[in-house]
Chains A and B, each alone.
Chain A
């Protein structure tokens, strides 16, 4: 569907064309201690797309907490909400930071919020965690753990909004047989800088539907990492982003298949418009030698609506065993499909409306996965507003 531009990650390909990183993703260093990481200079593989100068010092230790972010939880009645110290034994179950900012947030947070979905219980309504930034010019670090006990079923929305500079870790722990739906919305104000890591651990037969939506903020970099503690884990990772002029929106998914019989499916879609709009999608999937019968697929699509916008898209698929069910990836970045516009116009639909239909259609696949109607409606309205803004 794409009209080629000269950008990276442009060509459509199914298996075989992935960039093989110089070092295996499995060897990537992890630590809770910020000082164990080198200060990134911008040429490192995992920082080369990120505008470090715009991170307000989150990456080099000069960003010092000046305030705190508000973490409010509007929970379903069955749900337990606790504020705990960093020595709580549950903290860290989701995983270990894999980059310096994640470790910085870990080293700097003062209080964690643990939201527990009790075992063998289906919660009666969606739980909403609202994280409000420290305010313009402020810096804060945070930590939240979403914890689904065995066979719990729950839907949770994490809603980031407000101003300031913020780094955090969001742990998502789904114990055996739990079914968890997590929708994370980044609807930050224009000034906000947010670097976040999602540390996901899935127990035996646990299922996670994880959707990341990023529409607001100056720089937003989110790195969801999924690990499986036992067989039968199933992770659906969806993403939707819409970058305007001078917004940098970066998503780095990593699915680490280390045990057999697990499944993952990654679908991220983005639209870009305006000068300096920049999006990055890095999709790492590692199938370790022990992870037989793995089934994984990842897909990224970007729709560039105007000149001056840039989308980077890099799928990395490493496979260390031949005994898998399936593994594939696809990535494409393109402009409007002129044939689609012609077809719609040839049925009398004016060009502006035809463009909106195509963009809405483009996002439909991801939007329909969001089974929280209020959130879906809000996002549809937000996309509509974005499109009106350029008259696309």
Chain B
């Protein structure tokens, strides 16, 4: 069973004025079958945590550990982490002009699975996953994320989640920019992925609304580069009422509107 362990993680980002510490000692363990919501105000370092685990070169781990089933993730290249079973659904998926979605998905699946999927089976699999996410089949021949709306990009992130079936999925503000229908479709996609019980989910969000579709097992409040409070789903309800003021000293709603 998959386990992601984050131990006293410190991460800096390189700026013009030298390195700036963003994460200041994060401890978190995510086991298969668990969904952990990471909630926090803007600028608290939530996205930095997700990028650091995925291995984005802009973020430097200065101390601490990240282990996936006991293996040191921090020693792996970005693509090795993905093949080991870590998936990051990005807040701002990148456009790759001239590379078709179908070619991209097949290349990624081949890399992650270690062998090229059989063509007939693969076509059916992709079609099925696209239908579930209510994605028009025409998107398969479009360039990766190019000219996609915010909602279309997020649907395609979850499409990749479904096809690559990682051990640990990190969803970075997947709910941002989604209208009500898209939020439902995307959440259902995440719930299908969770249903197998073999994967862990880290759900990063600013607002509570996605938690009405995806019920977390644990809720962590992130502020000032570390987890400042942990609890069950009731903590999210509390945040919805109170906002983050308790943690930041300034008013910032956790609820839309």
Residue of A337, A351, A364 touching B77 (CB-CB under 8 A): A351
Chain B 81-115 interface mask (CB, 8 Å, partner A; 1/0):
11100011010011111110001100110011000
State which residues 271-300 of A face B: CB under 8 Å: none
Q: Which residues of A contact B201 (CB under 8 A)?
A: none
The minimal Cβ–Cβ distance linking A387 to chain B, given in whole angstroms, is: 14
**Contact status A358-B99, CB under 8 Å:** yes
Chain A residues near B107: list those with CB within 8 A.
349, 353, 357
Tell me whether A342 and B99 are in contact (CB under 8 A).
Answer: no
Residues of A within 8 A of B96 (CB): 340, 343-344, 357-358, 361
Rounded to whole angstroms, the CA-CA distance of A343 and B55 in the bound complex is 11
- Which residue of B83, B88, B96, B107 has the most chain A CB atoms within 10 A of its CB atom? B96
Chain B residues closer than 8 Å to A344, beta-carbon distance: 96, 104, 108
- Report yes or no: A348 in contact with B112, Cβ–Cβ below 8 A: yes
B57 touches A (CB below 8 Å): yes
Contact flag A361-B143 (CB < 8 Å), given A342-B57, A347-B112, A353-B107? yes
**What residues on B are CB-neighbors of A354 within 8 Å?**
79
Contact present for A347 and B98 (CB under 8 Å): no
Which residues on the A side are within 8 Å of B111 (C-beta)? Answer: 347-350, 353
B97 engages A347 (CB within 8 Å):
no
10 contacts between A and B (CB under 8 A): A337-B94, A343-B96, A344-B96, A346-B54, A346-B82, A346-B87, A348-B79, A348-B83, A351-B79, A358-B99
Minimal beta-carbon separation of B13 from chain A (angstroms): 14
- Please name the residue on chain B nearest to A358 by beta carbon: B96
Q: A158 to B164, alpha carbons, bound, how many Å?
A: 45
Q: Are A347 and B77 in contact (CB under 8 A)?
A: no
B77 and A345 contacting across the interface, CB-CB below 8 Å: yes
Q: Is B78 an interface residue (CB 8 A)?
A: yes
Question: In the complex, given contacts A349-B111, A350-B79, what are 8 additional A-B residue pairs having Cβ atoms less than 8 angstroms apart?
Answer: A337-B94, A338-B57, A342-B78, A344-B96, A345-B78, A350-B111, A353-B107, A364-B99
Q: How many angstroms from the CA of A346 to the CA of B88 in the assembled complex?
A: 7
The answer to the question of B160 belonging to the interface, with a C-beta cut-off of 8 Å to chain A, is: yes
Q: Which among A348, A349, A365 has the highest number of chain B CB atoms within 10 Å?
A: A348
Q: Find the A residue at minimum CB distance from B86.
A: A346
Contact A363 B98 (CB under 8 A): yes
| A360: Cβ under 8 A from any B Cβ | yes
Q: Which of A332-390 contact B (CB under 8 A)?
A: 337-340, 342-351, 353-354, 357-358, 360-365
Instruction: Known contacts A347-B108, A347-B112, A349-B108; decide if A360 and B98 are in contact (CB<8 Å).
Output: yes
> Which residues of B, 20-35, contact A by the 8 Å Cβ criterion?
none
Chain B 145-175: CB-based contact to A (< 8 A → 1; otherwise 0) = 0000000000000001000100000000000
Is B212 on the interface with A (CB-CB < 8 A)? Answer: no
B56 at the interface (CB under 8 A from A): yes
A353 / chain B contacts, CB cutoff of 8 Å: 107, 111
Q: Do A365 and B98 touch (CB < 8 A)?
A: yes
- Which of A349, A357, A360, A362 is packed against the most chain B CB atoms within 10 Å? A349
How many inter-chain residue pairs (CB < 8 Å) link A and B? 82
Bound complex: CA of A357 vs CA of B164, how far in Å?
19
Q: Who on chain B is nearest to A343 by CB?
A: B94
Q: When the two chains form their complex, are residues B57 and A347 in contact, meaning their CB atoms are under 8 A apart? A: no
Instruction: Give me the interface of A with B, judged by CB distance under 8 Å.
Output: 337-340, 342-351, 353-354, 357-358, 360-365
User: Using Cβ atoms and an 8 Å threshold, which residues of chain A touch B56?
Assistant: 342
Complex interface: chain B residues within 8 A of A343 (CB): 90, 93-94, 96, 144
Closest to A269 in B: B98
A345–B98 touching, CB < 8 Å: no
Q: What are the 9 A-B residue pairs with the smallest beta carbon separation, nearest first?
A: A361-B98, A364-B98, A348-B82, A347-B108, A343-B94, A348-B111, A345-B78, A361-B99, A348-B112
Establish whether residues B98 and A340, one from each chain, have CB atoms under 8 Å apart when the complex forms.
Answer: no
> Closest residue to A364 on the B side, CB-wise?
B98
Q: When the two chains form their complex, are residues A357 and B108 in contact, meaning their CB atoms are under 8 A apart?
A: no
A351 to B56, CA, bound (A): 13
Binary flags per residue of B52-91, CB closer than 8 Å to A gives 1, else 0: 0011110000000000000000000111011100011010
Complexed CA–CA distance, A348 and B79 (Å): 4
Please give the distance in Å from B245's CB to the nearest CB on chain A.
Answer: 34
Chain A residues in 8 Å Cβ range of B54? 346
In the complex, A1→B160 CA distance in Å? 24
Residue of A nearest to B92 (CB): A339
A168, B95: Cα distance in complex, Å:
42
A346 and B78 within 8 A (CB): yes
- In the assembled complex, the Cα of A260 lies from the Cα of B93 at a distance in Å of 43
CB distance from B230 to the nearest CB of A (A): 27
Q: Once the chains bind, are A345 and B79 in contact (CB under 8 Å)?
A: yes
Chain A residues, CB < 8 A from B83: 348
List residues of chain A with CB within 8 A of the CB of B104: 344, 347, 357
Docked complex Cα distance between A51 and B160 (Å): 49
The residue in B103, B111, B143 that gathers the most chain A C-beta atoms within 10 A of its C-beta is B111
Instruction: Report the separation of the CA atoms of residues A342 and B77 in the bound assembly, to the nearest whole angstrom.
Output: 10
Min CB–CB distance B87 → chain A (angstroms): 8
Give the Cβ gap from B49 to chain A, nearest Cβ, in Å. Answer: 15
Cβ contacts under 8 Å, A339 to chain B: 94
A340:B82 contact, CB within 8 angstroms: no
A347 touches B99 (CB 8 A): no
**Least Cβ–Cβ distance between B68 and chain A, in angstroms:** 14
What is the bound-complex CA distance between A74 and B78, given in angstroms? 51
Q: Which residues in B have their C-beta under 8 angstroms from that of A350?
A: 79, 111
Q: Tell me the smallest distance from the CB of B74 to a CB of chain A, in Å.
A: 15
Complex alpha-carbon distance, A337 and B144, angstroms: 14
Nearest chain B residue, comparing its CB with the CB of A337: B94
Q: Give the residues in chain B near A338, CB-CB below 8 Å.
A: 57
Do A347 and B94 form a contact, CB below 8 Å, given A342-B56, A353-B107?
no
